[in-house]
Structure 1
């Protein structure tokens, strides 16, 4: 039995798509189709029922997949373990991350990775939308905050510091802020989420804050802009607010009551057959964020 054909079969079934599997494997869709046909001819059985939209495993195909997938994963792990130490890794690495995170915090990290591995071709989609990583051939997705349950591997890489910020003119024309309780007399610019609770350290959490919220948005950039215009108080990542703090356009408030940090997480489809480029980027992400002034990755362990 041709092991390459068997590997292609396993990857197509995992992706549930010839197109997505071809993208991840760096080959042509027609090549995959031909190689799986060769495997079917070799075995004398039908493995897949193909339609215009979906793939369906035959009973024989399902049995072959369940028996062979662990073996293929172990073989690829062994091959990747040998190739990861090669001097010049190359090939495509596809990432997705939020636009504002990329521009304000991860730009230097991306640049240093590309300088260190010049033969890796980076494809970076800047978006916060929920994507099907397998279907779209994405190797790593970097996300901020609470994640929905999924079959993806979620690797915490840092905790991002946050704080409350407001324009000096806004603070001059509103009541003094001595404790979180005083926020009830202020305007709050929030995120467009199902829940966006405000929590603080060094403060009684039994109090329920009822703040006037004239604006909610899904954009940190817009939140920062509207806070700068004096529309209210915004909770922002420290790295995102710092340039306007330095210019005097925003001021931190209630610093004695720290706002909990927010998780930065790397998602990838499978731990069992992690390709060397993905591993290199995860290691680089972990190393660089250890030194970042606005992030902490204590207790983070890479798999």
Structure 2
């Protein structure tokens, strides 16, 4: 019985299909099929019932998965630990993060990490979609905003201050809001899937805003604000130069928008990949001096994404 084939079987079950396992591992689907067939021959047992739509574990497959998954994970963790604690840590690290966070904030973190650890190979997916880390074989996600999925572990990295911005031309035509309640009479651009109720730290009630536009890109929203079309809530540093040049005006600056969180996320079902630890530690070293960051948050431990405390392993 080949341990590599056992590991491949575990990966298929975790991802839910031969195709997903092949994509996450970077090998051909036909190779996976051949190796699983060989594993079944070696064991003299059928492990998977394959149909055109889904996979189903046989009783023998369920038994093998239950017994071997913890062992394979321990072996992978030990291998990663040894590779990472050598003088020259090596191996692959897969990360996902929103596009603008990657381009405008994490670029320095990634470039300095690669220089610091030349034998670690990063695969970075810039995407706004919420990726299933386990299913797609992602080691670490950098996400923006509050979290709700308790199957993940989160480490809050930083907070970023925001403000409300419009062009002088828009305000000359539509008037300048004096209090948050005045926003109901304005075209307020928002982020896709975000709450339409805007809150302020020094205003008693939230304001339900209305707007013609929602987008998943702050850069695009800012471009639409440049067209004198509305008011948008954006990171202050993202608009600072435009305010200095007179292109944008910060409105309601006396009313403080809550900052948004930046979190590092990884699956709680596995031990922390030591290369993830290296990246998180490096990011925490770098990010505190970044102009986007309002406050560096060095927490004593990770927390589950639903807010429950998780002990931090040394």
Q: Structure 2-normalised TM-score?
A: 0.81
Checking the alignment, whether the CA contact within 8 Å between 2:84 and 2:90 is kept in structure 1 is no
Q: Deviation per CA, 1:251-299, whole angstroms, max 9, x where unpaired?
A: 2222222100112233334552443333322332333223323223425
Checking the alignment, whether the CA contact within 8 Å between 2:83 and 2:91 is kept in structure 1 is no
Structure 2 spans left out of the alignment, 5+ residues? 303-311
Match of 1:21 in 2: 21
Matched, 1:262 2:260: yes
Q: 1:118 to 1:239 in 2, by over 3 A?
A: farther
Match of 2:66 in 1: 66
Checking the alignment, whether the CA contact within 8 Å between 1:20 and 1:134 is kept in structure 2 is no
Q: Once structures 1 and 2 are overlaid, which stretch shifts more, 34-43 or 101-110? A: 34-43
Q: Distance in 2 between matches of 1:178 and 1:19?
A: 56
Q: Distance in 2 between matches of 1:49 and 1:197?
A: 48
Q: Distance in 2 between matches of 1:78 and 1:15?
A: 22
Q: 1:194 to 1:83 in 2, by over 3 A?
A: closer
Matched, 1:81 2:81: yes
Match of 1:43 in 2: 43
Matched, 1:235 2:233: yes
Matched, 1:179 2:156: no
Distance apart, 1:34 and its partner CA:
4.5
Aligned residues, how many?
301
Match of 2:306 in 1: none
Aligned match of 1:251 in 237, 249, 252?
249
Distance apart, 1:248 and its partner CA:
2.5
Checking the alignment, whether the CA contact within 8 Å between 1:188 and 1:233 is kept in structure 2 is yes
What SS does the aligned partner of 1:10 have?
A: helix
Q: Structure 1-normalised TM-score?
A: 0.83
Q: Distance in 2 between matches of 1:169 and 1:75?
A: 62
Match of 2:9 in 1: 9
Structure 1 spans left out of the alignment, 5+ residues? none
